[in-house]
């Protein structure tokens, strides 16, 4: 499953909301818990640990990455409003599921997205 998003101000100064269907691929939330840790690799060989929590929106739970972890990633990559992230997940026999994140900035000279 893949999630692609151009970042908004909320994404660059607060938390990153994930689509509700991601609840089905995230590690299971333990009974009564509203937070789970996920290890995510980027395209440059670094691993990031994000705490994913949920908030209740009516009858639904909405997942999001906690600001404390997410903003470290944003700062390290120098991400701004309009930059893009791509988060994907694939089954992996050894770890259950592999999560990968790519941060991209638009190169205005050739109008192509470049990984940072």
**Tell me, what CATH number does 19's domain have?**
2.40.330.10
Alpha-carbon gap, residue 60 to 98, rounded angstroms: 25
CB 63 within 8 A of CB 21: no
Burial of 6-42, coded b for 16+ CB within 10 Å and e otherwise, reads ebeeebbebbbbbeeebbeebeebeeeeeebebebeb
Q: What is the average per-residue pLDDT within 52-73?
A: 91
* Mean pLDDT, residues 55-63: 83
* Domain membership of residue 61 as a residue range: 2-115
Residue 93 has pLDDT above 90, yes or no: no
Q: What is the mean pLDDT of the chain?
A: 92
pLDDT at residue number 4 = 97
- Residues 82-93 have a mean pLDDT of 91
Confidence of residue 58 (pLDDT cuts 50, 70, 90): confident
What pLDDT score does 32 carry?
72
Number of domains into which the chain is organized: 1
Residue 92 pLDDT: 78
């Amino acid at each position: 499953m893949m999630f692609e998003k151009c970042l908004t101000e909320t994404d660059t100064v607060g938390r990153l909301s994930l689509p509700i269907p991601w609840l089905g691929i995230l590690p299971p939330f333990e009974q009564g818990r509203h937070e789970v840790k996920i290890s995510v690799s980027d395209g440059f060989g670094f691993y990031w640990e994000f705490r994913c929590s949920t908030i209740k929106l009516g009858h639904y739970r909405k997942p999001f990455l906690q600001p404390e972890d997410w903003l470290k990633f944003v700062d390290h990559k120098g991400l701004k409003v309009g930059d893009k992230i791509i988060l994907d997940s694939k089954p992996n026999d050894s770890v259950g599921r592999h999560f990968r994140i790519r941060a991209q900035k638009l190169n205005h000279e050739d109008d192509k997205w470049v990984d940072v």
